[in-house]
Amino acid sequence: MSERIREKLNILADAAKYDVSCSSSGSKRKNDGKGLGNGHNSGICHTYTEDGRCVSLLKILLTNHCIFDCAYCISRKSNDIERAAFTVEEVVELTMNFYRRNYIEGLFLSSGIFKNADFTMERLLRVVKKLRLEERYNGYIHLKTIPGASDELIREAGMYADRMSINLEMPTEAGLKLLAPEKSHQDVIKPLGYVQNQIIQFRDEKKLIKSVPSFVPAGQSTQMVIGATPETDKEIMHTAHDFYKKFSLKRVYYSGYIPISNDNRLPVLGSAPPLVRENRLYQTDWLMRFYGFHVNELLNDANPHLDIDIDPKLSWALRNLHFFPVDINIGSYQMILRIPGIGVASAKRIVQARKFGKLRIDQLKKIGISYNRARHFIKCADSPFQLKEYQSSQIKSFILAESQSKYLKNDTQQLILF
């Protein structure tokens, strides 16, 4: 018995690991009535795998049997791999026992599609209902919405889950059609929109009647595979921007494609996943969500790709040197936030601290800004006087020379003579 469950866990955890989302934040589910589990609003990462990704949820598939044949997916019908399926009881028992030992923050349950969408969704629903109602479990649950499942099932699942997600897979419709002819973006948009409407409706009702249960309190997210099809960074981020705006998504995840098959539509087996590009996309995502950048400022027709050797905030600053230098003691919060080397926490501290007197370089360093990077873009109380104005390419090479990036340091840029 114990051998078989170990085998199943290995197969079904391995198949689920390409789903990037592991956030456990946003749930305020309270443990009233002496059950097990209590939401932690900011989430907890309980461990990290050797590839540096956080593990906060038990991320498994209910089964890796699937009726679809999507070229980018490890569980596709035509792939010759071991198949397995958990029973509802097994998933519940694993979750409860891992949670009791403080291994995990909750459950991330996804599934291959067996028989049809409704049948699969109904199974997922049975797991979450058993956890919430029979085991009185209040930990985090992230549930995959199965495209094509009926509205009633999705709605019921939303009453028990904390987050629901549904993957866009490819950033553009054309890319998706190429690799998964049976699927379309429309399959994703419909349930995303439905859940979004329900969230709004429940929230409005809750304002009037306090006892209305919460519906998907941690919101929705989606994921795109990067590097499997030849989209530009601009196309990817504009799609992300649209989805953030239209469906108030909490997160869009970008997953660098790891070659898993010999399909000639895809990168060849053994080629390295585009980790740097993925990192730059996340940086852009953060700039859009927390730094007040519009996607058009970072990626437009003139710059359809992000720089690989420097981060998007620095490259925006270098393209827009006419905004700089910003005087730390006068500049607006929004502008301070746009200075390379200054993050949200430091920007807030600077704005509070400067009310008590002009800030100096040593204070800025102590507050925690990355001064070596920021010094090209700021003025403060004791900035050294500088006669020469540097070109953006010069500033870039100064910064690259002193940074210790783990990525490519050999900048192949050509020398500028004039």
Q: Minimum CB separation from other proteins for residue 103, in Å? A: 5
Q: Residue 357, interface with other proteins (CB under 8 A)? A: yes
Q: Residue 322, interface with other proteins (CB under 8 A)? A: no
The owner of tokens 């020469």 is 388
**Strand pairing report for 57-61 and 54-55:** unpaired
Torsion-angle region of 391 (φ positive above 0: left; ψ -120 to 50: alpha; else: beta): beta
Q: Please list every residue from 78 through 117 that binds other proteins, using CB under 8 A.
A: 94, 97-98, 100-103
CA dist 339 and 303 (Å) reads 20
Using the rule CB under 8 A, which residue among 6, 246, 265, 294 binds other proteins? 6
Using the rule CB under 8 A, which residue among 81, 133, 200, 275 binds other proteins? 275
Strand ranges of the sheet holding 163-165, from the earlier edge strand across to the other edge: 57-61, 106-110, 140-144, 163-165, 220-226, 251-256
Angle at 152 between CA 147 and CA 156, to 5 degrees: 95
Q: Residue 74, interface with other proteins (CB under 8 A)? A: no
Q: Quick one: how many helices (H) and strands (E) in the chain?
A: 15, 10
Angle at 293 between CA 229 and CA 320, to 5 degrees: 100
For other proteins, give the closer residue by CB, 6 or 305: 6
For other proteins, give the closer residue by CB, 54 or 159: 54
CA dist 362 and 382 (Å) reads 9
Q: Please list every residue from 244 through 273 that binds other proteins, using CB under 8 A.
A: 256, 258, 272-273
For other proteins, give the closer residue by CB, 273 or 325: 273
Q: Minimum CB separation from other proteins for residue 355, in Å? A: 7
Q: Residue 211, interface with other proteins (CB under 8 A)? A: no
Q: What is the CA radius of gyration of the chain?
A: 24
Q: Residue 230, interface with other proteins (CB under 8 A)? A: no
CA dist 94 and 31 (Å) reads 20
Pick the piece of the chain touching other proteins (CB under 8 A) from 78-86, 215-223, 294-302, 345-353: 345-353
CA dist 281 and 255 (Å) reads 10
CA dist 403 and 365 (Å) reads 17
CA distances from 239 to 107, 171, 185, 194 (A): 28, 6, 11, 19
Q: Minimum CB separation from other proteins for residue 417, in Å? A: 38
Q: Residue 51, interface with other proteins (CB under 8 A)? A: yes
Q: Residue 386, interface with other proteins (CB under 8 A)? A: no
Q: Residue 144, interface with other proteins (CB under 8 A)? A: no
Q: Minimum CB separation from other proteins for residue 376, in Å? A: 23
By CB under 8 A, name the binding residues for other proteins.
2, 5-6, 9-10, 13-14, 16-18, 30-31, 34-38, 40, 44-55, 58-59, 94, 97-98, 100-103, 136, 256, 258, 272-273, 275, 349-350, 352-357, 359, 363, 366-367, 406
